[in-house]
Structure 1
């Protein structure tokens, strides 16, 4: 399968890198020519843009920063969509919008896959990230060999839109966990408990989580660079709040999280790293939430392995 990849930023650059590293035939495109050059040097070929790439490739993957960006690219590709062509959307986007765009692709006898990822940029870099895939079963089976180069665990979730709905839910949970960890670490520091000890106590407890094992390390080292920015957090938790509003679910924690992140952006910048939220509490208390022995950046130490489909419970 000849694959086009559009969007070579923090996540897309790493996902496309896994395809190239594993010998797939990949064309790449981004608005930043330097990012294209990096992938061409690694073995990709340069695409001319969305229309040409859909014409030349069997499948085109998009990994873009907003629903509007994805929609613009899909509309450029549409004239070249025909039977056998596949659009794979790996951005975190709005479920209603991807359903609409997938419908336009289907009208031209193409297929679409709603295909967001979860697990952090460091795992995207090694092909060990998790992937949700929403599409019909025959399309899933066709793209599964490609997905298993980019991710370790692949979950077929059913209809278009379901994957994006699940993804914004998981990002909502991750953000809630980040904010509670900021509070927990600060309270332990204020109570005189060693923060290295605190990290280990959480890691072996019922309070442990993926976010603790990753972002807490970057908070404690002082790096505060998880490669995920506050504007992306706001997009995702805003999409989750919209799901709740549309379903008539009266959430209490979600609006507070949005308010807290808005304050973080006002203090540190719209695109500040999300784990800088700890600095709000540092400023409020005069404490420094730091400990020795933690890394400046996350590195996935799992060996790269070919991915596999996760069996869902029925």
Structure 2
């Protein structure tokens, strides 16, 4: 099938790269003409707008920075939607926006798959990222070959909206861990602990996590570069807080996290790299949280592998009996 891709940003460019690397026919569009030229040089075709991308391709994938941009892009594509067309949304977006846009695309005869990713830019770059897919089962099975090219672990989460909710939850948990890791590293430094030893102690213990084993490295290097910024974190944890409020859940940690990032954005700006949330504590203590031997950017050291569908724990036996 012919695939169109809108949004060649930090994550989108790497996802689109996986499609090209695996010999999919790809047409791209982005407001940044230089990014489009880079992909054309690698063998992709160029679309002049999002409408043309939908008109000329069987599947169009969007990976965009905000629900507002997603809404505008779908509005542009909508006149070209008809039976046989599929929109795949890979952004982290508002579940209400996702459902509204999906209804419009489906009313025009198209199919919709919401499929946000999780695992970081370094895993998106190798096709080893995880993907949540919210849609009907028939649509899921139709695009599964694409999903298993774009990512390694693919989870069918249920109907439209479920993937967006789960993706926002995972970003909330990752942010909570980033904040606790920042507090742990600064506290250990203040207590006189060696930072290399501290990193290793966390890594081999019950305190370890995906966030520690990735983001702590670029924190200690000093680059703080994971290609993700504070405004995007604020968007994601704000979406999680909204889900909780809509469900009547009186969260406490979530509200504190939002206020911490509000303070950091006021101090350092919305486009500051998200691991630099630790700068609030570095400035408050006068400490510099650095250590030798850590990389400036993350790379996925695992080889690219063919993706596969993940079956939720406890359901494999039931599915086998059906």
**TM-score when normalising by structure 2:** 0.96
Map of 1:73 onto structure 2: 73
Task: Give the superposition deviation at 1:48.
Answer: 1.8
Query: How far 1:202 sits from its partner (Å)?
Result: 0.5
1:2 aligns with 2:2: yes
Q: What is the CA distance between 1:18 and its match in structure 2?
A: 0.5
Provide Cα deviations, 1:236-263, integer angstroms capped at 9, x if missing partner: 0000000001001000011110111111
Match in the other structure for 1:41: 41
Where does residue 275 of structure 2 map in the other structure?
Answer: 275
TM-superposition CA deviations, 1:47-76 (whole Å, max 9, x none): 121111111100000000000111111111
Matches within 5 A, 1:92-241: 92-241=92-241
In the alignment, structure 1 residue 256 sits paired with structure 2 residue 256: yes
Contiguous gaps of at least 5 residues in structure 1: none
What's the TM-score once normalised by structure 1's chain length? 0.99
Q: Which runs of 5+ in 2 are unaligned?
A: 316-322
Deviations 1:109-133 (A, max 9, x none): 1110111000000110111100000
Q: SS of 1:4's equivalent?
A: strand
Secondary structure in structure 1 of the residue aligned to 2:294: coil
- 1:64 corresponds to: 64
Residue 264 of structure 2 corresponds to residue 243 of structure 1:
no
State the 1:203 CA deviation: 0.5
CA distance in structure 1 between the aligned counterparts of 2:268 and 2:211, rounded to whole angstroms: 21
Structure 1 residue ranges (4+ consecutive) displaced by more than 3 angstroms after TM superposition? none
Name the residue aligned to 2:318.
Answer: none
CA distance in structure 1 between the partners assigned to 2:175 and 2:84 by the alignment: 38
Cα distance in structure 2, aligned partners of 1:154 and 1:49:
30
Q: Aligned equivalents of 2:191 and 2:273: distance in 1? A: 27
Corresponding residue of 2:319: none
**RMSD of the alignment, in Å?**
0.7
Query: What per-residue deviation string (whole Å, max 9, x for no partner) do you get for residues 168-204 of structure 1?
Result: 0000000000000000001111111111011011001
Please state if 1:266 is matched with 2:253: no
Counterpart for residue 83 of structure 1: 83
Report the count of equivalent residues: 314
Q: Aligned partners of 1:291 and 1:202: how far apart in 2? A: 15
Whole-Å Cα distance in 2 between the matches of residues 140 and 229 of structure 1? 31
Distance in 1 separating the partners of 2:235 and 2:167:
12
